[in-house]
Amino acid sequence: MAAAAGSVFRGEGVPAREQFDCWRELIGRTRASEMTSVHADDFRAEMRRLELGPVTLLRSSFPPTRFRRTAAMVRRTDPEVYHLTMPLAGGLSLTRGAGEHTRTFGRGDLYLADSSHPYEVRALGAPAAGRGEQRTEAVGIDFPVSLLPLPPHRLRDLLGRGFSVREGTCALLAQFLVGLDRQAAALGPAAADRLGAVAVDLVAAWVAGELDAETELPDEARHRALAEHVRAFARRNLHDPELTPAVIAAAHHVSVSHLHRVFTRQSQGTTLAAWIRAERLERARRDLADPAHRTTPVHAVATRWGLPRADDFSRAFRAAYGLSPREHRRRALAGGGTDGP
């Protein structure tokens, strides 16, 4: 399978004095600004840049750095891009415009900025584990303003503010971005394009919720966001054997028929019940292959993932993977691999 387009920078093989320029060029492709750092002569940084269609995912770790997008730069060229950023370690301070209030963001926050207004971002850093240097880690996405189905003037009061990722659609968006980063190496081009669209839809759903403008979103955007909410809800509750489409529909304040219709369309024809069953079987398959669970009875592993009926679990497992749960465990723990037959 072909991999999604992207690049990784770690500085190996690049002379120390050139690493800052390489890193600056890579991030400047979508976040054009003047970048300076007192560590420029020995800039130890890492970055993953992944193309998700018109959306760019950035995951970076770097020492204290200053990013300054001036009014002159905005006048000279404006790609009209939104920048969504979430610190994972350390902190970032953002000043928008001239003399505006400076806000500081850390782990548990995210903020939205754009390329159409001047700004200054300072990476404050925090002590890295086991290392004496200060570092900032962050993940984010850049995407064209035109992709968001709400006009830019509606977002004016949201830009540059900090929002907690601990609940609601903002939490789902944060989890989605972290998941994208973790799965970056395994994404093919088709999946990357689809997930880029989902990321923008989650941003749209979050922004629309903040503006009380959910009804202004196109049906397709709302449906993709609903499907992602449903997947996240189901993953959190796979252990519950009473998890059914009816329970999920009630939790999301939609009818069962609407849920079925939306989810099946957004999952390339897979029904919600089939998706839940596949997720449960996969979690059980992984646990059975894990040496840490080798003494846990098979039925206990199945029950942990919401599959309490031993016979039903065994039949479903064999249908999905071509061998019984016990055979899978025996092969995996004997060194035959954990990726199935």
For the chain, how many structural domains are there in total? 2
pLDDT digits (tens, 9 = 90+) for 19-53: 899 888 888 888 999 999 998 988 888 898 899 99
Q: What is the mean pLDDT of residues 119-133?
A: 77
Whether 132 and 32 map to the same domain: the answer is yes
Whether 74 and 196 map to the same domain: the answer is yes
Grade residue 5 by pLDDT with cuts at 50, 70 and 90.
Answer: low
Among residues 91, 58, 267, the alpha carbon closest in space to that of 177 is found at: 58
Instruction: Quote the CA–CA distance of 199 and 56 in Å, as a whole number.
Output: 10
**Quick one: what percent of the chain has pLDDT higher than 90?**
70
> DSSP string covering 171-221, please?
HHHHHHHHHHHHTGGG--HHHHHHHHHHHHHHHHHHHHHHHT-GGGS-HHH
At 92 the three-state DSSP class reads strand
pLDDT digits (tens, 9 = 90+) for 226-254: 999 999 999 999 999 999 999 999 999 99
Instruction: Quote the CA–CA distance of 140 and 52 in Å, as a whole number.
Output: 12
Grade residue 192 by pLDDT with cuts at 50, 70 and 90.
Answer: confident
| 38 part of a folded domain | yes
Domain containing 103 — which CATH number? 2.60.120.10
pLDDT digits (tens, 9 = 90+) for 151-177: 999 999 999 999 999 888 999 999 999
- The amino acid present at 96, given as its one-letter code, is R
Query: How does 267-291 read in b/e, with b if 16+ C-beta sit within 10 Å?
Result: eeeeebeebbbebbbebbbebbbee
pTM for the whole structure: 0.81
Domain with 103 in it: 6-211
Grade residue 341 by pLDDT with cuts at 50, 70 and 90.
Answer: very low
Kindly state the tokens that stand for 135: 């570092």
> Pick from 211, 233, 263: which residue ends a domain?
211
| 235 part of a folded domain | no
Grade residue 10 by pLDDT with cuts at 50, 70 and 90.
Answer: confident
Kindly state the tokens that stand for 322: 């071509």
Instruction: Quote the CA–CA distance of 46 and 137 in Å, as a whole number.
Output: 9
